[in-house]
Amino acid sequence: MSQSLQLPLDSTLEDLPSHDYRVSPTIWGEIVAKKLYQNPDLPGVLVVDDSQLLGMISRAQFGEHMNWPNRAQIYNHKPIQKLLDAIRIPPLVLSKQTPVREAAELATNRPRNLTYEPIIISGGDQEFRLLDFRVLCQAQNQLLRASQSAIMKMSKSRRKQLEFIGKEKRRLDDLSKQLKLEQNIAKKLYRDRYRQKESAVGRHYQDLLQLYQELVRECQLVSGETHRACHSIFLGAHSISEYSEQLEAVIRGITRDWEIITSASAVIGEIVQKVRYLSVQASVLNYQSGETNPTVLGQINFEMNRLVKQTLDVSQQIAKVASQFKLHLQTLQEMGRQQTQVARKITLDSQRGETAIAELDRLLERQDATLVELLKKQSTSDEAAVKDLLNQDMTGIDTRFQTPERRRPNSGSEHLIELIEKSLKNLPHKN
């Protein structure tokens, strides 16, 4: 392999120089021997039959078999397939995308007698090339040297960065000590003023708390009255609901009675029609015969008696319905009276609730609204004053510590973080 060839750390077998010397299985052995003799760099020969790889014969295996007694005369004038069948060594076939370090590991893990055998590179589409094991070892050594050089450079850069980090850490520690000292001084300066403001705010809050407690007591009283009134209203509404159900039942009874009366009226109408018809029939018979027919008269009498009985039954039903009407009317009157009492009770409870609410309104009107407003304003003013005092003190501390180095962007700790991130990104992967 040429010493000027520069390989990246992620090199593959495709980047290494290889050979594509191939022959058909029918070519004679002396032709292959002559080719290997004329080209000392050839590591071997590929035996290919119609783009199909049959095997590989390395230079070492070819020379070993040819140097045996009488073997040269045997294989020189025979197809190379005979020699390939006699050797019968399985070749190592790797893809051209295989990394150099992985190919070197696979090649060295072969049996001892096959360690130095060439490697067949498969490129797809029936493309095969032969790679010398010595070239693979040289490429692996070059990559190891490049990795070692990069690691040494990175170690040197890392030492410098660690020194810079230590220096920045010491500077930050000094600034932290100064900041804590300034903070302690600032706390001592505004602690007393803060306590005074806090005491004043506490007194104002106590006044507001007392006023709030009075309002809570009054609201509890109003809540009790309102609760009782709402309970009474609920009971009244429940009673009204029950009375409404009873009223619906009475209305359904009246409806049924009305249907009975309508049916009785229809029966009476039919009876009247039949009586009229029988009377006319009797008159016609008397007129036609001139004599009284006992059979006809008996039948007429029987029909008349039956109609009279039906009329009496209908009259009894109407009387019964009339009594039920009277009973329903009395029930309706009683329900009306009870609903009137419930409505009056609900009205009284509502008036009591309105009275309690009006009492609470008058209590609120009697409170000193000016006092509440002043308390709110004073509390807001005290809180704002304390916040302004704290902001002024902390602003002074920040201003004293705001050095030119900290004002510059990407300086100090920010610059240190950027350097560390760049170094981590440039670290190579260890092979």
Residue 157's contacts (CB-CB under 8 Å, 6 or more residues apart) are: 423
Average pLDDT over residues 101-107: 91
Q: For residues 158 and 332, which has the higher predicted lDDT (pLDDT)? A: 158
Q: Is the pLDDT of residue 422 over 80?
A: no
Query: Considering only 66-75, 130-139, 281-290, 408-417, which range has the smallest mean pLDDT?
Result: 408-417
Q: Indicate the pLDDT class of residue 378, thresholds 50, 70 and 90.
A: low
Q: Domain 13-131, what fold?
A: CBS-domain (3.10.580)
Q: Indicate the pLDDT class of residue 254, thresholds 50, 70 and 90.
A: confident
In degrees rounded to 5, what are phi and psi of residue 48?
Answer: -130, 135
Residue 71 token pair: 């073997």
pLDDT of residue 410: 45
pTM: 0.39
Q: Is the pLDDT of residue 360 over 90?
A: no
Q: List pLDDT tens digits, range 256-265.
A: 877 787 887 7
Average pLDDT over residues 64-91: 82
Beta strand pairing status for 127-131 and 119-124? antiparallel
pLDDT of residue 103: 92
Sheet with 119-124, edge to edge strand ranges: 92-95, 119-124, 127-131
Q: Is the pLDDT of residue 415 over 60?
A: no
Residue 174, H or E segment: helix 133-289
Q: Is the pLDDT of residue 130 over 90?
A: yes
Q: For residues 63 and 278, which has the higher predicted lDDT (pLDDT)? A: 63
> Of the spans 128-142, 251-265, 270-284, 367-381, which averages the highest pLDDT?
128-142
Query: Considering only 91-95, 98-102, 123-127, 276-280, which range has the smallest mean pLDDT?
Result: 276-280
Residue 333 token pair: 């009157």
Q: Is the pLDDT of residue 374 over 80?
A: no
pLDDT of residue 404: 45
Average pLDDT over residues 7-12: 84
Query: Considering only 2-16, 122-136, 220-234, 368-382, which range has the smallest mean pLDDT?
Result: 368-382
The count of C-alpha atoms lying within 13 angstroms of the C-alpha of 243, restricted to the half-sphere facing its C-beta, is 19
pLDDT of residue 430: 45
Listing DSSP states for 59-111 in one string gives HHHHHHHHTSTTHHHHHTTSBHHHHHHHH----EEEETTSBHHHHHHHHHTS-
Q: Where are the domains of the chain?
A: 13-131, 197-387
Q: Is the pLDDT of residue 388 over 50?
A: yes
Q: Indicate the pLDDT class of residue 47, thresholds 50, 70 and 90.
A: very high
Q: List pLDDT tens digits, range 188-208.
A: 877 777 777 778 778 876 877
Q: Give domain 197-387's CATH number out of 1.20.1440, 1.10.10, 1.10.287, 3.20.20.
A: 1.10.287
Q: Is the pLDDT of residue 352 over 70?
A: yes
Q: Indicate the pLDDT class of residue 362, thresholds 50, 70 and 90.
A: confident
Q: How many helical (H) and strand (E) elements, i.e. helices and strands, does the chain have?
A: 10, 6
